[in-house]
């Protein structure tokens, strides 16, 4: 059973962001594998360990995203591919999904494409569902548990996290699955893994390698464009510390304040 | 007759997602500018009450697919009929509420229809013939303005509690347009086996009041006083990543960058230091109260009211105080 984990390289979640002329930078903060995608990578490794086949990590991005794929190799992925081409610059969700669907098609014989629920930069959480649509595969989002897979009958049973609770469902493979925290505990890279990854050459796929139509990729293929990006306006809040001689007195004063806000 | 502006009404087992009415409210405002009405789209089974509620919240007409295959939410039958409705009705704009189902259906149908989706919008303005939406990115540290300039319809999901809900007018009605399902049961590959739902709990997603616990609660039993306060206030129980990772409370309660993003009217952070990752999930709350023994905790930079002290004394005292005031 072949499993693809789609990963994005993002700035660290604790990075101090700067914006200048609609360009976001993060100083010397490290770039990391999108934290949600770590769960997708780990799940691909667990499934490969259980069912055999290979775990393949792919990423679309600039040359620097090679580092994210090296992390995937270091934790144990069998193969990685970087999809990188200047014409892909300016992609939105739909042109990214189109590109990733083509890449998954090129890998071939894939039963499962795993995604983290969203990337911590764009925060859309829409890409996986569009990839499923372009591939014509089953879509299962917000999966917190893969209960079972039958690689022969090509079926999968999962638990999905909805607002109201978990939905347990069965479906057919091949499937695109987006995963949430709680599905597993991502492993750390081993020393041997890091050495192997350092020496590895990661193949780069260009738009032409995937047979992408120029009108559907990058800025040309984007339906949604970013007009402006700017820091969150700083809310001037000065905290009012509630004091008193006893917990009861503090509670009474705090309750006064909360009631006066008319939020209850 | 369908209108230029549509709203998708999200529901689970017949209970509408309240954020759908917020979307309907915004849709009315935008439709007024275009001299149009608003069509609500309702998908499910046994939807009569939801249809009535859509009229009460301001819909001019309701397009409904009421079918047994839509009893359980599954993306295939939902997106199939939604795509068909939109491609035939050709609205200019389709609004909805950002939810797990909203994201699924809008993104799947947008792929079918070759248009774009904007998710988590917190502000929407009409500008040069298109809607410009503001949405938080990079875990809410930055805001972006985005637009779907050329392709139609513009599909926009609104962040829950970012827009006011309309006032209900009971007894209002209008044209109901019935649409048949597109997929039959045999052609739907996903089958729902069961639901595992924590009974009697208020979900943090749409709660007006959230009381959250963090590392400072010291263990699973530390969530007891927090749950009691939440119950008295009719609110939901939230948690920081530290408390969830320690195994004190299930992940469904986690607020923050790797949990849920919430914007309640009142957020009481108890024993939560307030790392940036936690702030990403709650900084848009209207009133933030912090209770923490460490006066230097970053949560106090965000809070409007703070108590520096022992949560195990303050929280029960606050619960008793609100019991008295709210007559519970």
pLDDT tens by residue, B64-87: 999 999 999 999 999 999 999 999
Q: What percent of chain B has pLDDT over 70?
A: 99
Count A/B contacts: CB-CB distance under 8 Å: 253
Q: Which of B103, B206, B308 sits opposite A129 (nearest CB)?
A: B103
Cβ contacts of A100 within 8 Å, gap of 6 or more: A6, A58, A60, A83, A127, A131
Per the structure block, which two tokens stand in for B209? 């009041």
Confidence at B258, pLDDT banded by 50, 70, 90: confident
pLDDT at residue B238, rounded to an integer: 97
Per the document, the length of chain A is 264
Which residues 135-154 on chain B approach chain A with CB closer than 8 angstroms?
Answer: 135-151
A57 lies in a domain?
yes
Q: Could A165 and B233 be called an inter-chain contact, meaning their C-beta atoms sit closer than 8 Å?
A: no
A216 lies in a domain?
yes
Kindly compute the dihedral angle of the four CA atoms of residues A19, A24, A29, A33, in this order, to the nearest 10 degrees: 150
Q: Which of B108, B193, B290 sits opposite A129 (nearest CB)?
A: B108
Give SS3 for A237: coil
CB B100 within 8 A of CB B13: no
Using CA atoms, how far residue B2 sits from B35, B36, B43, B52, B277, in Å, is 13, 10, 16, 17, 43
pLDDT at B198 over 80: no
CB A176 within 8 A of CB A40: no
pLDDT at residue A129, rounded to an integer: 98
Q: Measuring CA to CA, which residue among A13, A248, A239 is closest to residue B297?
A: A239
Mutation target among B94, B103, B288 for the A interface, most CBs of A within 10 A: B103
pLDDT at residue A63, rounded to an integer: 95
Q: Could B257 and A144 be called an inter-chain contact, meaning their C-beta atoms sit closer than 8 Å?
A: no
Give SS3 for A85: coil
Q: Measuring CA to CA, which residue among A105, A104, A85, A96 is closest to residue A208?
A: A85
Per the structure block, which two tokens stand in for B300? 């106090």
Q: Could A129 and B75 be called an inter-chain contact, meaning their C-beta atoms sit closer than 8 Å?
A: yes
CB B142 within 8 A of CB A10: no
Residue A156's domain is classified under what CATH number?
3.40.50.620
A236 lies in a domain?
no
Order of strands, sheet of B266-270, starting from the edge strand that comes earlier in the sequence = A240-241, B305-308, B287-292, B266-270, B209-213, B236-239
Please give the DSSP secondary-structure letter assigned to residue B90: -
Q: Could B209 and A263 be called an inter-chain contact, meaning their C-beta atoms sit closer than 8 Å?
A: yes
CB B94 within 8 A of CB B116: no
Chain B CB contacts of A19 under 8 Å are 142
B11-12 and B15-16 as β-strands: parallel, antiparallel, unpaired? Answer: antiparallel
Cβ contacts of B328 within 8 Å, gap of 6 or more: B232, B322
Rounded CA gap, A62 and A89, in Å?
9
pLDDT at residue B328, rounded to an integer: 77
Q: Could B139 and A120 be called an inter-chain contact, meaning their C-beta atoms sit closer than 8 Å?
A: yes
Rounded CA gap, B299 and B305, in Å?
10
Integer distance in angstroms from the first to the last C-alpha of chain B?
49
What's the rounded mean pLDDT across residues B6-30? 97
Confidence at A249, pLDDT banded by 50, 70, 90: very high
Q: What is the domain count for chain A? A: 1
Q: Could B138 and A161 be called an inter-chain contact, meaning their C-beta atoms sit closer than 8 Å?
A: no
ipTM value: 0.94
Chain B CB contacts of A9 under 8 Å are none
A62 lies in a domain?
yes
| Residue B205: Cβ within 10 Å count | 22
pLDDT at residue B1, rounded to an integer: 64
pLDDT at A65 over 80: yes
Q: Could A129 and B74 be called an inter-chain contact, meaning their C-beta atoms sit closer than 8 Å?
A: no
What's the rounded mean pLDDT across residues B121-132? 96
Mean predicted lDDT score pLDDT of chain B = 95
Chain A CB contacts of B311 under 8 Å are none
pLDDT digits (tens, 9 = 90+) for B136-180: 999 888 999 999 999 999 999 999 999 999 999 988 999 999 999
| Residue A201: Cβ within 10 Å count | 6
A250 lies in a domain?
no
Confidence at A232, pLDDT banded by 50, 70, 90: confident
A167 lies in a domain?
yes
Which residues 49-88 on chain B approach chain A with CB closer than 8 angstroms?
Answer: 72-76, 79
Provide DSSP, B245-273: HTTSS-GGGBBSTTSB----SEEEEES--
Per the structure block, which two tokens stand in for B208? 């007006």
Rounded CA gap, A131 and A44, in Å?
18
pLDDT at residue B199, rounded to an integer: 64
Rounded CA gap, B109 and B84, in Å?
9
Q: Measuring CA to CA, which residue among A53, A8, A11 is closest to residue A28?
A: A11
pLDDT at B201 over 80: no
What's the rounded mean pLDDT across residues B277-294? 95
Chain A CB contacts of B133 under 8 Å are none
Rounded CA gap, A73 and A195, in Å?
10
pLDDT digits (tens, 9 = 90+) for A74-128: 999 999 999 999 999 999 999 999 999 999 999 999 999 999 999 999 999 999 9
Give me the domain span that covers residue A212: 3-221
Cβ contacts of A55 within 8 Å, gap of 6 or more: A3, A5, A41, A44, A45, A47, A48, A76, A77, A78, A79
- Give how far B202 is from chain A: nearest CA, Å: 9
Rounded CA gap, A161 and A185, in Å?
17
Which residues 295-324 on chain B approach chain A with CB closer than 8 angstroms?
Answer: 300-310, 313-314, 316-318, 320-322
pLDDT at residue B102, rounded to an integer: 98
Per the structure block, which two tokens stand in for B245? 């990772």
B236-239 and B5-9 as β-strands: parallel, antiparallel, unpaired? Answer: unpaired
Chain B CB contacts of A251 under 8 Å are 314, 317-318, 320-321
pTM of the predicted model as reported, rounded to 2 decimal places: 0.93
Cβ contacts of A142 within 8 Å, gap of 6 or more: A117, A160, A161, A162, A178, A179, A180, B100
Q: What is the CA radius of gyration of chain B?
A: 21
Per the structure block, which two tokens stand in for A98? 């189109």
pLDDT digits (tens, 9 = 90+) for B242-252: 999 999 998 88
pLDDT digits (tens, 9 = 90+) for B43-68: 999 999 999 999 999 999 999 999 99
What's the rounded mean pLDDT across residues B12-30? 96
pLDDT at B200 over 90: no
Chain B CB contacts of A226 under 8 Å are 144-146
CB A43 within 8 A of CB A1: no
Rounded CA gap, A257 and A239, in Å?
12
- Give how far B253 is from chain A: nearest CA, Å: 10
Element (H or E) spanning A114, and its range? strand A110-116
pLDDT at A19 over 90: yes
Q: Could B276 and A13 be called an inter-chain contact, meaning their C-beta atoms sit closer than 8 Å?
A: yes
What's the rounded mean pLDDT across residues A216-220? 95
pLDDT at residue A235, rounded to an integer: 73
Q: Could B142 and A247 be called an inter-chain contact, meaning their C-beta atoms sit closer than 8 Å?
A: no
Mutation target among B305, B315, B320, B326 for the A interface, most CBs of A within 10 A: B305
A20-57 burial, b at 16+ Cβ within 10 Å, e below that, comes to eeeebebeeeebbbbbbbbbbbbbbbbbbeeeebbbbb
A247 lies in a domain?
no
pLDDT at residue A221, rounded to an integer: 95
A228 lies in a domain?
no
Q: Which of B79, B112, B189 sits opposite A172 (nearest CB)?
A: B189
Q: Could B266 and A97 be called an inter-chain contact, meaning their C-beta atoms sit closer than 8 Å?
A: no
CB A112 within 8 A of CB A225: no
Per the structure block, which two tokens stand in for B171? 């007894």
pLDDT at B206 over 90: no
CB A46 within 8 A of CB A23: no
Rounded CA gap, A194 and A178, in Å?
27
């Amino acid at each position: 059973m072949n499993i693809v984990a789609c990963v994005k390289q993002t700035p660290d979640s604790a990075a101090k962001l700067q914006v200048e002329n609609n360009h976001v930078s993060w100083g010397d903060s490290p770039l990391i594998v999108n934290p949600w995608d770590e769960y997708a990578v780990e799940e691909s490794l667990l499934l490969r360990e259980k069912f055999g086949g290979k775990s393949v990590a792919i990423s679309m991005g600039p040359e620097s995203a090679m580092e994210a794929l090296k992390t995937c190799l270091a934790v144990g992925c069998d193969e990685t591919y970087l999809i990188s081409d200047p014409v892909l610059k300016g992609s939105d969700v739909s042109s990214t999904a189109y590109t990733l669907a083509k890449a998954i098609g090129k890998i071939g014989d894939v039963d499962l494409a795993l995604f983290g629920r969203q990337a911590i930069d764009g925060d859309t959480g829409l890409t996986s569902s569009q990839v499923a649509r372009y591939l014509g595969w089953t879509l299962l989002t917000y999966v917190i548990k893969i209960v079972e897979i039958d690689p022969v009958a090509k079926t999968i049973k999962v638990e999905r996290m909805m607002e109201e609770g978990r939905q347990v469902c069965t479906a057919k493979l091949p499937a695109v699955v987006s995963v949430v925290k709680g599905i597993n505990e991502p492993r750390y890279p081993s020393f041997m893994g890091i050495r192997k990854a350092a020496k590895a050459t990661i193949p780069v796929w260009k738009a032409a390698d995937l047979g992408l139509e120029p009108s559907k990729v990058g800025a040309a293929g984007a339906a949604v464009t970013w007009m402006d990006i700017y820091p969150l306006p700083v809310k001037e809040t000065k905290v009012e510390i509630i004091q008193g001689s006893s917990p009861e007195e503090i509670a009474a004063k705090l309750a006064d304040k909360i009631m006066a806000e008319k939020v209850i | 007759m369908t209108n230029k502006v549509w709203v998708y009404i999200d529901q689970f087992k017949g209970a509408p997602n309240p954020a759908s009415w917020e979307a309907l409210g915004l849709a009315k405002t935008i439709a007024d500018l275009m001299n149009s009405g608003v069509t609500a789209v309702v998908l499910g089974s046994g939807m009569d009450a939801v249809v009535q509620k859509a009229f009460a919240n301001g819909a001019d007409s309701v397009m409904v697919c009421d079918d047994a295959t839509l009893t359980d939410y599954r993306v295939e039958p939902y997106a199939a009929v939604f795509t068909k409705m939109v491609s035939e009705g050709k609205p200019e704009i389709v609004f909805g509420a950002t939810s797990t189902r909203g994201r699924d259906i809008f993104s799947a149908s947008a792929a079918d229809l070759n248009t774009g989706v904007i998710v988590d919008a917190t502000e929407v303005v009409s500008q040069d013939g298109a809607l410009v939406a503001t949405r938080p990115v990079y875990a809410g540290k930055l805001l972006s303005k985005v637009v779907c300039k050329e392709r139609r319809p513009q599909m926009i999901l609104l962040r829950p509690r970012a827009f006011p809900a309309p006032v209900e007018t009971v007894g209002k009605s209008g044209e109901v347009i019935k649409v048949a399902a597109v997929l039959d049961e045999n052609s739907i590959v996903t089958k729902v086996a069961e639901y595992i739902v924590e009974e009697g709990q208020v979900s943090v997603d749409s709660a007006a009041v959230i009381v959250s616990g963090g590392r400072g609660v010291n263990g699973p039993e530390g969530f007891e006083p927090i749950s009691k306060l939440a119950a008295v206030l009719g609110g939901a129980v939230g948690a920081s990543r530290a408390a969830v990772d320690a195994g004190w409370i299930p992940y469904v309660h986690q607020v923050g960058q790797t949990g849920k993003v919430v914007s309640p009217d009142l957020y009481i952070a108890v024993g939560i230091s307030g790392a940036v990752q936690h702030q990403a999930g709650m900084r848009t709350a209207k009133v933030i109260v912090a209770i923490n023994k460490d006066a230097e905790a970053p949560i106090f930079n965000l809070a409007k009211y703070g108590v520096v002290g022992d949560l195990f004394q303050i929280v029960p005292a606050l619960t008793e105080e609100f019991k008295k005031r709210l007559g519970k």
